[in-house]
Amino acid sequence: MIGKDIAYRCGDRNLVGYLANDETRGPGRPGVLVCHQGNGVSDHTKERARMLAELGYVAFALDMYGEPVTSREQAMALLQGLMKNPPELETRARAGLDVLVSQPHVDAKRLAAIGYCFGGWVVLEMARSVDGLACVVAFHPGLSGLPETDDRKVRCSVMVCAGVEDPLIPAEAREKFIRLMREAGADWQLLTYGDAGHSFTDKSVDAMGMPGFAWHAPTDARSWAAMRALFDETLGRA
């Protein structure tokens, strides 16, 4: 399997993503865009891309920031700036997807996007703004900023995997997500996991000591299995 950094540009910004691909499997395989958490393209992001490549997908972890993240304050400023600027967020997401589609082993008719935390918000936005995706999967995304209404069409299947103890996804946010999906007539799933909080996929989060943030091994495994089932349904076998 090959894992390598790929430099690319979006407007006047230099970005560096990460490609994971088992080239021995040949061409014509589904491509998966991986959208990082608030701390940027991290070891967690690259690990998930490699896990996908081991399953036969071509995975590209895009870079939404264009700069290394060295503090929580910097991360919050970067992600909040993009969340308040949807056109720029969409432009950077599309730039990452373009890199994925350009890979010679990718079947451009079989594409998905997954995201974690901030990246979960990104892929939920992509579900309404980007054509060509078969599905998106958002792992522990922040949902407290959802609008009251959203007239945009949902263009693909949507799955959200959320911990019931996640402070960034309170019950009222889950109910709002459900209402917005129903109003859009979307093909959607909201999977809620007991005992799990925020960042349940990330082993490194425990070191932060933040209430409601913790790796939860059972939910990590179960949500990954749910993603794979949706991929089989919407993309076909890798």
Which contiguous run of DSSP H or E holds residue 80? helix 72-83
What does the DSSP assignment read for 105-127?
TEEEEEEEEEEETHHHHHHHHHH
pLDDT value for 237: 86
Which contiguous run of DSSP H or E holds residue 17? strand 13-21
Please name the residue that has the structure tokens 């690259």.
46
pTM of this structure: 0.97
Query: What single letter denotes the amino acid at residue 122?
Result: V
CATH of 2-235 given 3.40.50.1370, 2.102.10.10, 3.90.1310.10, 3.40.50.1820: 3.40.50.1820
pLDDT value for 162: 98
pLDDT value for 132: 97
pLDDT value for 144: 86
Beta bridge partners of residue 115, listed in sequence order: 35, 138
Query: What single letter denotes the amino acid at residue 134?
Result: A
pLDDT value for 61: 98
Is the Cβ–Cβ distance between 60 and 18 less than 8 Å?
yes
Segments in the chain below pLDDT 70: none
pLDDT value for 2: 87
Would you kindly state where each structural domain of the chain is located, as residue ranges? 2-235
Q: Is 179 left (phi over 0), alpha (psi -120 to 50) or beta?
A: alpha
Q: How far is CA 189 from CA 162, 164, 186, in A?
A: 11, 15, 9
Kindly report, residue by residue over 64-91, the tens digit of the pLDDT. Answer: 999 999 999 999 999 999 999 999 999 9
- Two tokens, residue 164: 């019931």
